[in-house]
Amino acid sequence: MKMKKFLYIICAVLTVAIGLQSCKDDETYAEQKERERALISAFIGRDVKIMDRDGQLVADVGRINVIGENQFYAQDCVTDTAKNEYVLFGNSGVYMQIVRQGVGEPIKKGESKRLLCRYVEFNIMRDSIQSRNDVLYWATRPDIVDVTNTSGTFTASFNTSLTGGGAMYSYYGSSVPSGWLVPLTYINVGRQYTADEGIALVRLIVPHTSGQSDASSNVYPCFYQISYQEMR
């Protein structure tokens, strides 16, 4: 009798737990989105300095000055780095700073290019570097992205035929984060031939809706520092 009563209690507890979890799951996405917005807001005002495991500075993000799209277009689609400006794109929720506009030309409508992308990914929720390919380990395996501009809309896929795929592809799979494509409308894509030139470099805050697969599934934002270089 005691064993039956014990089993009944266990079953009852499990039933309640499953019910509570079900209710929690019904609320989770809304709660996670609210948390994500709060994380981004806090990140913008925190004067963040991103450090690696050895305590070396990777990116001095600072306190971010957010500008709207109208101001961004009015100042010829540039962000004033002296003021630490980031433009917020309302449709995607992506924040972008153009650190260097880069050599070469923008990818024209109807044109396709193969790009080398080197990046640092900082998980804003965990407050730590999550992945990167700008280190020696990945030097011979950058993320190679095939990009096409179709009437102003960019599509892209990772190219794995040459190196088997870089860090972003290895960690998160074949889908290029749509947030990575946002800067392509506003930067030049080329190769550096002289010491005073520089390839395009941007900084992004990417919400889960424009992020890689894990961020999309678990609803968290990431900060990226990414360079874009045309491949030979």
pLDDT of residue 196: 73
SS3 call for 41:
helix
Q: What CATH number does the domain located at 43-230 have?
A: 3.10.50.40
Instruction: Using alpha carbons, list the distances in angstroms from residue 202 to 33, 85, 99, 171, 184.
Output: 25, 12, 5, 21, 10
pLDDT of residue 26: 59
DSSP letter at 105? B
Q: What is the mean pLDDT of each run of 10 residues along the chain (232 residues)?
A: 40 40 61 97 97 96 98 98 98 97 96 97 98 95 96 96 93 95 97 83 98 97 97 85
pLDDT of residue 139: 92
pLDDT of residue 21: 45
Beta strands in 108-199 (DSSP E): 112-123, 128-132, 143-150, 153-158
pLDDT of residue 10: 40
pLDDT of residue 28: 85
pLDDT of residue 25: 53
